[in-house]
Amino acid sequence: MSLDALKSAIPDYAKDLKLNLGSVIGNSDLPAQQLWGTVLATAIASRSPLVLRELAPEAKAHLSPEAYTAAKSAAAVMAMNNVFYRTRHLLSDHEYGTLRAGLRMNVIGNPGVDKVDFELWSFAVSAVNGCGMCLDSHEQVLRKAGVERDVIQEAFKIAAVVEAVGVTLEAEAVLAPLD
């Protein structure tokens, strides 16, 4: 399957998702590396085997080996960080925020690709995982690097659509035998 096959798997009741998937990927103004790194990182974060299986080969075809690895690294480190920092933020005892994290996240400092690209992918994964603290942190780094709001919004539009497609297709896989 490919992007087109993935779109065709989306049920009629979710036609908006089909159109949005084609739009956020096919009509994006993002450079190819930012676009496909965002697609890959959010496909991983979506936890949908179907979405990942279909989008990863296309992402791999559009990314250098270093960018492909970095996008996977962004998804991996943010899976950890989003849980850790979201939990710290949600706890009413703010003393946890004063404690040393003690978690390795060296890849953020040396991702193997342009730092802006890695930050954009980390931001998009944080959108899927719902970590406000990480969203704010990565958005600030991106804005300080001169990234415009429309570029940042493009990343969370991709995250929103990829996540929604994953949720819908996984639900269909469960519901289809019942219909």
Write down the catalytic residue from 63, 134, 152, 165: 134
List all residues 6 or more positions away from 172 whose beta carbon is below 8 Å from its beta carbon.
Answer: 9, 11
Which alpha helices (DSSP H) does 112-148 contain, by range?
A: 115-129, 132-144
Active site residue 149: no
Ramachandran area for residue 110 (φ above 0: left; ψ -120 to 50: alpha; else beta):
beta
Residue 53 contacts residue 170 (beta carbons within 8 Å): no
For the chain, what's the residue count?
179
Write down the catalytic residue from 55, 56, 131, 152: 131
Active site residue 134: yes
Catalytic residue ranges: 131, 134
